[in-house]
Copies of this chain bind each other. A is one copy, B any other.
Amino acid sequence: MLDVALAEAKLGLSEGGIPIGAALFDRDGMILGRGRNRRVQENDPSIHGETDAFRRAGRQRSYRDKTIVTTLAPCWYCSGLVRQFGIGRVIVGESVNLRGGIDWLRGSGFEVVDLASNECIEMLSSWIRDNPGLWAEDIGEGRE
C-alpha cells in the first residue's frame, strides 16, 4: 500500500511540488482515493497528501474500517482529520522528517504503523535540504 503513496509523492516531485503522497483504502485493500501535496501545483495550502486522498475518496458513511497510508507522519492538520473522522488505521512511511501527531493519535486509541522506510526518509529529507523556505511554509513555520 505504501507503493501507492510513494508513487503519488514522486509524481508530486516531478510536478515541482512537495513530495508527500497518501492513499485511502477500504477494508479489502481497494483504493478509495489517492493524492499528494499540491500546495505548489494548485497554489492551495489546504491540499496535503492526506486531505487530498480523503477528498478524492468522496463522501463515506464511516471510516472505522478504512486505512490511510501516507509517506510521512501526518501533521496536526492531518492528524486532526484522522481523529475527527475516526479513520481506523494509519500507516506512515516515516516519522523522521516530521513526527506530527502520531503520539497523540496513539494516545487517543488509534492504530499507527510506522514503516521507517529509508526511501521515504531520503526522498523528503533531500527535498527539504533544497527547499527549506517552502517546507517551512507547508508546516506553518514560515516567517511573516
Specify which chain B residues have a CB less than 8 angstroms from the CB of A85 in the assembled complex.
45, 77, 140
Q: Mark A50-71, 1 if CB is under 8 A from B, else 0.
A: 0100110111111111000000
Which chain B positions have C-beta within 8 A of A39?
59
Contact B76 A59 (CB under 8 A): no
Contacts of A101 in B (CB 8 A): 80
Tell me whether B137 and A63 are in contact (CB under 8 A): no
Place the interface of chain A in its size category. 35 or more
Is B46 a contact partner of A51 (Cβ separation < 8 A)? yes
A75: CB under 8 A from chain B? Answer: yes
A84–B46 Cα distance when bound, in Å, is: 11
Give every chain B residue within 8 A of A60 (Cβ-Cβ): 45, 142
Chain A positions near chain B (C-beta within 8 angstroms): 39, 43-46, 51, 54-55, 57-65, 75-81, 83-86, 101, 137, 139-144
